[in-house]
Amino acid sequence: MKPESEAWWRGATLYQIYPRSFADSNADGIGDLAGIMARLPYVASLGVDGVWLSPFFPSPMRDFGYDVTDHCGVDPMFGTLADFDALVARAHALNLKVVIDQVWSHTAIEHPWFQSSRRGPEDPFADWYVWADAKDDGSPPSNWQSWMGCATWTWEPRRKQYYLHNFLPQMPDLNFHNPAVQEAVLAIARFWLDRGVDGFRLDTANYYCHDRSFTDNPPQPPERRGELPAAMQQHLNNVCQPETLPFLERLRTAMDGYPERFAVAEIGSARNLERMVEYTRGSDRLHTAYSFLLLGPRPTPAALAEMMVHWQQGEAATAWPSWAVSNHDVPRVATRWGRGDPVRARQHLALLACLRGTVFLYQGEELGLPQSEVPFEHLQDPFGKAHWPRDKGRDGCRTPMPWQAAAPAAGFTTGVPWLPADAAHAALAVDAQEADPGSTLHLSRRLMALRRCHAALRLGAFESRHADESLLVFERCGDASRVLCAFNLGDAASAFPLGFDPRGQDEALWLHGARIDGRRLLLPPGAACILPLPPEDRCR
């Protein structure tokens, strides 16, 4: 087995596919596994290392696959296990790894485990979920609040107890304090590893365990209080419990029995960076983790540099980070950070390609797609329906992938798409961008090629050269190569003194007017530069 420092996933780029919205093969308006398989050559052409598939398991689809009724099956709307096996084989033939979502913190209420558990405390599955008696006044056992806009407790009349759900009431939490639950989850992991998957993305991994005393969460300080009830308290007791760590170690032991596999955790915490390190430090927990640090407002260049440097210091130096700037749960980065400006969308793609860590590229991000506006009458997301118009939910980043500019539904389906295809995306469709050498799609391929060709970009150290409110300049330094990366994220032109005569400019990537003027790097607003440099000119 290769040493972990040489593992394929370190510095890799994984392309996230949201199956419902990627490609529909049977005209029912919903993307499926056969559609994904047909489009895998396109994914391979991007130069990424693999795909991450969001859930395709049997589900009532209240939360569109993140409410699972059978962790070892395929929902008929997406295909069959045979279709999945064929997809994995095709991906591997194209030298693409396959990483799949695993939703273990909770199940759908229809899951056979919960249907047994709700019958009463004498049932064999009685302790597989989190049950608690009411307080003397009948109120729930704690004040915990869900990010879905409700309390985390629902009364079950059959048991005359409350059950815990950190998300929708129809998504009860599994009880990871029960060894039998852990064994069942590890069996699920082995089922998919035996089928050839290359890794797991672990949904809400810091939600696996709760405080068994059901201690109330304290309120947020006034200056940090949000509008939702969940944003009015500090989530100290319903998530991020220390008992999660031994389970992660058990999972790592199981996965180490399968060569070249890895697990990446999704972390949503008030202490994201600290939690990422805690879950991944050393070699006995998870391989890597990502958080919401780059999935909200854009950090300042100084804050970005601080994040990157953090991973090379102390205990964090024994861990490996992952980064995403878009996914299926947040507004697309082209709108969230770039305000719909295509120049900024291209700049942020370049920035992602230069980060130290494993990176995730969300479908359509390579096209520079902005966030879609979905009318209320077409909304599918339960969160968006409940919080409209203050928060329009997650449908705007889940609209169909645009394949053909002139085709109905942009070539996603020949039927009626489950979400409306965004007319504004037609001009950015794959076929339109394939025909334009200056397109964002072609830039994405060049960025992926740079990352693959330069070990410094995949694995090298991060050396901050300058970071303020607008300008970010850093070097990625490997044993045999060095790459200078510069980004003007502000609204005024900037210049950066290089201190050396740049060479090797034939390999450089210049975006939006970035250029060399003598020994200075000139960067207009939105500009970026990725400049490979001779190895003898070492990091300062």
Residue 53 lies in a domain: yes
Residue 152 lies in a domain: no
Pair 347, 475 in one domain: no
| Cα distance between the two ends of the chain | 35
- On the question of pLDDT at 390 being above 50, the answer is yes
Active site residues: 203, 266
- Domain count for the chain, please give it: 2
Q: What b/e readout covers 380-395, taking b as 16+ CB neighbours within 10 angstroms?
A: bbbbbeebeeeebbbb
**Which of the four pLDDT bands, split at 50, 70 and 90, describes residue 536?**
low
- The last residue of a domain, from among 400, 419, 449: 449
Cis peptide before 389 (omega within 30 of 0): yes
- Nearest Cα neighbor of 186 from 269, 80, 129, 257 is 257
Pair 527, 484 in one domain: yes
Tell me what the mean pLDDT of segment 457-482 comes to. 95
- The last residue of a domain, from among 388, 421, 449: 449
Q: What percent of the chain is predicted at pLDDT more than 70? A: 97
Residue 157 lies in a domain: no
3-state secondary structure 60-128: CCCCCCCCCCCCCCCCCCCCCHHHHHHHHHHHHHCCCEEEEEECCCECCCCCHHHHHHCCCCCCCCCCC
pLDDT digits (tens, 9 = 90+) for 166-209: 999 999 999 999 999 999 999 999 999 999 999 999 999 999 99
Pair 441, 474 in one domain: no
Residue 232 has, within 13 A of its CA and on its CB side, a CA count of 10
- pLDDT-wise least confident of 3-17, 59-73, 189-203, 417-431: 3-17
Element (H, E) at 178: none
pLDDT at 539 (0 to 100): 43
- Nearest Cα neighbor of 266 from 71, 457, 59, 54 is 54
Q: What percent of the chain is predicted at pLDDT more than 90? A: 92
pLDDT at 14 (0 to 100): 98
Pair 442, 512 in one domain: no
Tell me the one-letter amino acid at 402.
Answer: P
Q: What is the spatial distance between Cα 112 and Cα 69, in angstroms, rounded to a whole number?
A: 7
**Which of the four pLDDT bands, split at 50, 70 and 90, describes residue 157?**
very high
Find the domain containing 402 and state its range: 4-108+179-449
Average pLDDT, the chain: 95
pLDDT digits (tens, 9 = 90+) for 304-323: 999 999 999 999 999 999 99
Pair 375, 523 in one domain: no
pLDDT at 507 (0 to 100): 75
Residue 158 lies in a domain: no
Residue 128 lies in a domain: no
Pair 220, 71 in one domain: yes
- pLDDT-wise least confident of 443-457, 488-502, 517-531: 488-502
90 burial (CB, 10 Å; 0-12 / 13-18 / 19+) is middle
Pair 445, 318 in one domain: yes
How far from chain centre, in Å, is Cα 353? 15
**Which of the four pLDDT bands, split at 50, 70 and 90, describes residue 503?**
low
Pair 477, 441 in one domain: no
> CB atoms < 10 A from the CB of 237, how many?
20
Residue 133 lies in a domain: no
pLDDT at 540 (0 to 100): 43
- On the question of pLDDT at 479 being above 90, the answer is no
Task: Name the DSSP class of 221.
Answer: P
pLDDT at 533 (0 to 100): 87
pLDDT at 506 (0 to 100): 64
Tell me what the mean pLDDT of segment 287-315 comes to. 96
Q: What is the spatial distance between Cα 527 and Cα 524, in angstroms, rounded to a whole number?
A: 5
Tell me what the mean pLDDT of segment 272-276 comes to. 95
Pair 445, 470 in one domain: no
pLDDT at 1 (0 to 100): 59
Phi/psi at 31 (5° precision)? -60, 155
Pair 423, 467 in one domain: no
- The last residue of a domain, from among 396, 428, 449: 449
Pair 431, 498 in one domain: no
pLDDT at 538 (0 to 100): 47
**Which of the four pLDDT bands, split at 50, 70 and 90, describes residue 216?**
very high
The pairing of strands 494-497 and 520-523 is antiparallel
| CATH number, position 516 | 2.60.40.1180
Residue 129 lies in a domain: no
Residue 154 lies in a domain: no
| CATH number, position 440 | 3.20.20.80
Pair 341, 469 in one domain: no
